[in-house]
Every structure is written in C-alpha cells, then in structure tokens.
Amino acid sequence: MSKSALITGVTGQDGSYLAEWLLGQGYRVYGLVRRSSSPNVDRIRHLLDKITLIPGDLLDDNSLVKALEQSAADEVYNLAAQSFVATSWNQPIFTAEVTGVGVARLLEAIRKVNPKIRMFQASSSEQYGAARTTPQNEETPFHPRSPYAVAKAYAHYITINYRESYGLFACCGISFNHESPRRGLEFVTRKITHAAARIKLGLQSELKLGNLRAVRDWGFAGDYVRGMWSMLQQPQAEEFVFATGECHSVEELVATAFEHAGLDWKQHVVTEASLLRPADVEHLRGDATKAREKLGWRPATPFQQLVHKMVDADLQQVRAEMLAGAARG
Ligand code: NAP
Ligand code: G4F
C-alpha cells in the first residue's frame, strides 16, 4: 500500500510543488484547505483529479483531528501559515494564532490520532532576524525581528518540545527565501517580476518598493520541497537548513529582472516610505552544509535563472490576460 501524506497549506506556493513531488514518489496526497467564499485552487488546479482536499483550518482543533483520521496520514507537512511578514505587524495576534499556536494544535491532534505520524514543520530563516553571525546554520541563535518570526520561533520550539516530550517524529526545516512563478504577488520577487512584465507590456509605468538594500538568499521553491520530503525519510528527526549560500540585494534583483525584460529599472522604480517595515531583516545567507552532507540535498536553480524564469512566466501570464480581456471586449 502506498504511503499517505497530508499537506497543510496545499493551496500555497510550496504546497503545490510538494504535492507534485509526493505524487511523483507514489504517495496518496491529501491537502487541508480552509473555507473561502470563492475558489482558491489556482496553484493546484492541474492536480485536482489526483489529490484529495479536506476542509479544515489550523485555528480549529477538531478539523485537524478529522483530517488526520480521513487521510490516515503517515506523513504530515505543515506548510500552512500567515506567511507574509509585513502583514504580521497589522495582524500580530492572528499571525500568532495561525503561524504559532496552530502548530501546537496540529501536534496535539497527531498525538491523539496517531503518534507514529512523521511531521515536517516549515521553519523560516526570518527566525534568525538580526543574526550576529553569517552564514546562518542549524546552530545559529534566533533573534526574530517581526511578529511573524516570533510566531515561527514558537512553532519551531514547540515542535522540538513535542519530539523531546512525547517521542514524536517531528522536525523543522529552516528554509531561506524560495520563490517561483507561483509566488504570491505581495512578496518582493514576484512583485518585481510581475511589475516588470506589466511595464514592458505598457500596463503600468511605475513600481513602488521599500528597502532596496535588504539582502536575501533566494532559491527556487521546487528545489526546497525535495529537502522537506528527505527530512521525513531519515532514521531520526532533526533540524536542517535549506539555502543556496548566495545572497543578493533587492536592488540587484530589480536590476536583473528589468534587464531581462529589456527595461532600465532606474526609470521606473521609486521608493516609498510606507513600504518600509518597523524592523527589517537586513541580511540573510544560509549554510546548508548539513543538508548537503546528510540528505544529499542541493539547490539546482541559480539566482539569475530563477529571476529570468519568473519574468518570462509573468510576461506570458500578463499577455494571456490581455488577450482574454480583448476577446471579452
Ligand atoms: P503561502 O504561499 O503564503 O501559503 C500559505 C498556505 O497556508 C496557503 O495554502 C494558505 O491557505 C494556508 N493557510 C493560511 N492560514 C491557514 C489556516 N488558518 N489554516 C489552514 N491553512 C492556512 O506560503 P509558502 O511560501 O508556500 O510557504 C509555505 C510555508 O513555509 C509557510 O509556513 C511559510 O511561513 C514557510 N516558509 C516559507 C518560505 C518562503 O520563502 N516561501 C521560507 C521559509 C518558510 P489560503 O490559500 O487559503 O490562504
Ligand atoms: O519578499 P519579502 O516580503 O520576504 P521576507 O520578508 O524575507 O519573507 C519571506 O521569506 C521568509 C524566509 O526568510 C519566509 F519565512 C516568509 O514567509 C516569506 O516567504 O521581503 C524580502 C525583503 C524584505 O527585506 C523587504 O523589506 O524585501 C524587502 N522589500 C523591499 N521592498 C519588500 C519591498 N518586500 C515586499 N514584500 N514588498 C516591497 O515592496
């Protein structure tokens, strides 16, 4: 009998790539989806006849118990979160409830339904925040700089605590930023590649950004989900960092994307004070040596290739939307 996996956050960027990967590995794949007033399955539309969606929410304990029972999951990948850092200052309590305490609810449900379930928790490089050492690895202390990062730090430690308290196979993958054409439009990479496409096609002329000096270690989401799966195939549960080890500033990202679209970014980008964060993370670079040595994990997509791929996908998508609009009259 094939293994069963439950993905929370299956409608998100990572959830869609992980579902594809697990189907390719022969899993029965279940995805937890929260109720919305209109369909929210754009990223997994192509998978809908291959996976089973189960209604539920990290805010609702009972729905998690039911989802674990219905899926008879061997593995649970907790990717669900309020994942946008900027929103976490406007909604700190909600972010703590979903991104932080939601993980405790899931761990309790696992304990109740089947403590043999293996669980992956999506930890974040944001937890390092104002890290004092570079690059960051599994031993680097956390100094979270946003309500989101604080909630993720709680989620991280409660996962380890349930492993140590109850012997659960539960572990955290600490991922640095990973992107794709399926990235939400509010995150800086996609905001930039989508704007470059719209400017190129004459639909807008200006792009407003915040902190151009911020530096991130950006990789491709499709590479990172392989690492998540590998962690749950190990003989013991432990933490791993996933990162490229290469870092670039937001300004470099804009220049790379606009150049690929045949544009001069300086003619279009303006900085806007309202987009600056109350406390930003200025510089992140990860050290994924442990993942490379123990899991054989390596990111396969260099920065420039990633940015070009996102710009090309956005050009294609915006053109298709223009054609559809013209056809509708
Ligand atoms: P994403 O695109 O924002 O997806 C988040 C998912 O969580 C969506 O499916 C969303 O559902 C779901 N969700 C939100 N609140 C929920 C709730 N109360 N109950 C159930 N589901 C809920 O995020 P992502 O980029 O794929 O990231 C996946 C995970 O990795 C997140 O936990 C994120 O914090 C973490 N992470 C991401 C990165 C990165 O660079 N991408 C790096 C480190 C860690 P809806 O579609 O209904 O909104
Ligand atoms: O793309 P971002 O919003 O990603 P951020 O804050 O690094 O968080 C993402 O990666 C984390 C992993 O480290 C995940 F845990 C988290 O869930 C999420 O996926 O912002 C990146 C940088 C920031 O320093 C921000 O201040 O870009 C800077 N930035 C500059 N102008 C902007 C903008 N960010 C956004 N979103 N929009 C701007 O206009």
Q: What is the CATH number of the domain that holds 123?
A: 3.40.50.720
Q: Look at residue 87 and tell me if it is in a domain.
A: yes
Q: Is the CB–ligand 2 distance for residue 184 below 6 Å?
A: no
**In a domain? residue 207:** yes
Burial degree of 77 (CB within 10 A; 0-12, 13-18, 19+): buried
State the total domains in the chain.
2
| pLDDT for the residue numbered 329 | 79
Looking at the structure, do residues 23 and 168 belong to the same domain, yes or no? yes
Q: Is residue 307 part of a domain?
A: yes
pLDDT of residue 81: 98
Atom 16 (ligand 2): residue with closest C-alpha?
83
Quote the mean pLDDT of the chain: 98
Q: For residue 208, give the DSSP letter.
A: E
Q: Domain for residue 296, yes or no?
A: no
Angstrom CA distances, 262 to 197, 253, 289, 314, 317, stand at: 10, 14, 37, 14, 17
Shared-domain flag, residues 195 and 64: no
Q: Is position 255 within any domain?
A: yes
Residue 51 is assigned to a structural domain of this protein: yes
For the chain, what percentages of helix, strand and coil (3-state, to nearest 5) are there? Answer: 45, 15, 40
The confidence score (pLDDT) of residue 41 equals 98
Closest CA to 248 of 269, 271, 217, 274: 217
Same domain for 236 and 105?
A: yes
pLDDT for 45 equals 98
Same domain, 198 and 233: no
Q: Are residues 192 and 230 in the same domain?
A: no
Residue span of the structural domain in which 314 resides = 188-216+248-284+301-324
Identity of residue 278:
P
Secondary structure of residue 4 in the 3-state scheme: strand
Classify residue 294: in a domain, yes or no.
Answer: no
Which residue from 155, 175, 143 is spatially nearest to 81, judged by alpha carbons?
155
Same domain, 29 and 149: yes
CATH of the domain at 315: 3.90.25.10
Whole-number pLDDT of residue 1? 83
Chain centroid, CA 21 distance in Å:
15
Query: How far is residue 117's CA from residue 76's CA, in Å, rounded to a whole number?
Result: 7
Q: Is 9 in the pocket of ligand 1 (CB under 6 A)?
A: yes
**pTM of the predicted model as reported, rounded to 2 decimal places:** 0.98
Please count the other Cβ atoms lying within 10 Å of the Cβ belonging to residue 34: 17
Give residue-wise pLDDT tens across range 223-235: 999 999 999 999 9
Ligand 2 atom closest to 189 (CA): 1
Other CB atoms within 10 A of residue 283 CB: 17
- List, for residues 63-92, the tens digit of each pLDDT value: 999 999 999 999 999 999 999 999 999 999
Tokens of 221: 């989401």
Residues 114 and 53 in one domain: yes
Q: In this structure, are 158 and 252 located in the same domain?
A: no
Cβ atoms of 120 and 81 closer than 8 Å: no
DSSP-assigned letters across all residues of 251-310: HHHHHHHHHHTT--GGGTEEE-GGGS-SS---B--B--HHIIIII-------HHHHHHHH
Is residue 161 located within the same domain as residue 208?
Answer: no
Q: Check pocket membership of 250 for ligand 2, CB cut-off 6 A.
A: yes
Q: Ligand 1: distance of its center to the CA of 292 in Å? A: 25
Is the CA virtual torsion 199, 204, 206, 207 positive or negative? negative
Residues of the chain with pLDDT under 70: none
Tokens of 212: 């151009």
Mode of pairing for the β-strands spanning 240-242 and 219-220: unpaired
For residues 232 and 132, membership in a common domain is answered with yes
Residues 169 and 310 in one domain: no
Distance in Å, CA 136 to ligand 2 centroid: 18
Same domain, yes or no: 99 and 198: no
Closest by CA to 13, choosing from 219, 282, 170, is: 219
On whether residue 128 sits in a domain, the answer given is yes
CA of 184 from ligand 2 middle (Å) equals 11
Contact status, residue 122 vs residue 178, Cβ threshold 8 Å = no
